[in-house]
Structure 1
Amino acid sequence: MKLIEYVKSHGSQRGLADKIGITPVLISQWANELRPVPPERCVEIERATDAQVTRKDLRPKDWHKIWPELANAPAPRRATDPVPAPGHAGRQPPTTNGILDTVPDRAAVGIDARAIP
């Protein structure tokens, strides 16, 4: 389970427990799947772990019943995703025209590479 991996890589159960205001015993029980994580605590854990452990990870069998809005939600942006320029529609598929897609047609007319300056 991702909760165990998160706890092992980020210190201790106490650190996560202190972040969300519970006892480390509960973190242990949830990590070892002795008890299901309550839905309200899933949201708190997701926030405390910066979405490294998500609600879907904590409640894999019934998350779609508890949070149906997540079923059609877009994937969260990662910090490494490129940010599109303001007013830009995002990454566009490449075309066969390459660089000429960014140059107006009238700018490319009349250029002769063999012309002597």
Structure 2
Amino acid sequence: MSDPDEKNGLELAVEAVGGQAKKLATLLEITPQAISQWKQIPSDRVIAVERITGVSRRFLRPDLHPPELPSVDSAA
């Protein structure tokens, strides 16, 4: 099994539903052909994919949902 840090969000989402893009497509109510055209999860599908798979949007599309940075206390 490869390192999860090396997988893109689409690979993580497909893996989360059992490893079949067809199953993800069914759950999203789209065609498997639509998913086969994705290089990454479209921005308008990220929340639905997160809800269905349980994979955080931060992993699905880190370019759109980067990890939150810790706040800096300016009173220090």
> TM-score range, shorter-chain basis?
0.5 to 0.7
* DSSP 3-state at the match of 1:71: coil
Q: Work out whether 1:56 is the aligned partner of 2:64.
A: no
User: Per chain length, whose mean CA-contact separation is higher, i.e. which structure has more relative contact order (CA < 8 Å, sep 6+)?
Assistant: 2
- Root-mean-square deviation (CA, aligned residues, Å) is 2.6
Q: CA deviation at 1:58?
A: 2.1
Would the alpha carbon gap of residues 38 and 8 (structure 1) be closer, same or farther in structure 2, given more than 3 Å must change?
A: closer
Matching of residues 41-80 of structure 1 within 5 Å? 41-49=45-53, 51=54, 53-64=55-66, 71=68
Pick from 27, 35, 57: which aligns with 1:27?
35
**5+ residue gaps, structure 2:** 1-7, 70-76
**In the comparison of the two structures, how many residue pairs are matched?**
61
TM-score by length of structure 2 reads 0.57
CA offsets per residue over residues 9-43 of structure 1, 9 Å max, x none? Answer: 6041111111111111232333xx2xx42323100
2: CA distance between counterparts of 1:46 and 1:59?
10
Aligned 8 A contact 2:47 2:57 in 1: yes
Amino acid in structure 2 at the alignment position of 1:56: R
Percent identity for Structure 1 against Structure 2: 36
Match of 1:7 in 2: 14
Q: Which has the higher helix share?
A: 2
* DSSP 3-state at the match of 1:63: coil
Would the alpha carbon gap of residues 54 and 25 (structure 1) be closer, same or farther in structure 2, given more than 3 Å must change?
A: farther
Q: Which has the larger radius of gyration?
A: 1
2: CA distance between counterparts of 1:11 and 1:27?
13
2: CA distance between counterparts of 1:5 and 1:38?
14
4+ runs of 1 displaced by more than 6 Å?
A: none
